[in-house]
Amino acid sequence: MAFDPTTLQFDAAGLIPAIAQDAASGEVLMMAWMNAEAVQRTLDTGQVTYWSRSRQEFWVKGATSGNTQALVEFHLDCDRDCLLLTVKQDGPACHTGRRTCFFTAVQDGKEVETATPMAQD
């Protein structure tokens, strides 16, 4: 059966959350949003494409920073309302320069940063 992105359960704005996970380590890198066309572009090109809510435009991960995400596997959750993308991440995934966007932990009721920015070449 061929996959049809329009069968996904998008929210009222036509978006679906997409979680990017490092294919090699299993580390969760980031969460962003996709619409049906971003899903199709990602599947067609193998380069992860998101929908930027703030800029109202497509966002090919790494197009300006060079920190690309090459799609390895594309998964749907059981309700078809969330995506899991396993990716080959080149460089940091977070705009702060950290490997992952999830670098703040809550420990004993306090926020603690768990990662420092990656060195840039």
Decide if 77 is inside a domain. Answer: yes
Give per-residue pLDDT as tens, 68-85: 999 999 999 999 999 999
The predicted structure's pLDDT at residue 121: 45
In a domain, 56, yes or no: yes
Residue with tokens 């060195």: 119
pLDDT in the model for residue 114: 86
What sign for the dihedral angle of Cα 23, 26, 30, 31? positive
Distance separating alpha carbons of residues 111 and 25, to the nearest angstrom: 25
Please give the pLDDT value at position 28: 97
Here the tokens at position 19 are: 């979680």
CATH number, residue 52: 3.10.20.810
Could you list the residue range(s) of the whole structural domain that residue 42 is in?
13-92
How many separate domains does the chain show? Answer: 1
Report, as ranges of residue numbers, the positions in the chain whose pLDDT lies below 70.
117-121
45 within a domain of the structure (yes/no): yes
Q: Could you tell me which residues come within 8 angstroms of residue 79 by beta carbon, excluding any fewer than 6 positions away?
A: 9
In a domain, 49, yes or no: yes
Residue 48 · residue 42 · CB < 8 Å:
yes
Indicate whether 113 belongs to any domain. no
Distance set, CA 111 to CA 27, 47, 58, 105 (Å): 20, 33, 32, 6
87 near 21, Cβ under 8 Å? yes
CA distances from 11 to 30, 33, 61, 120 (A): 19, 10, 22, 36
74 falls within a domain? yes
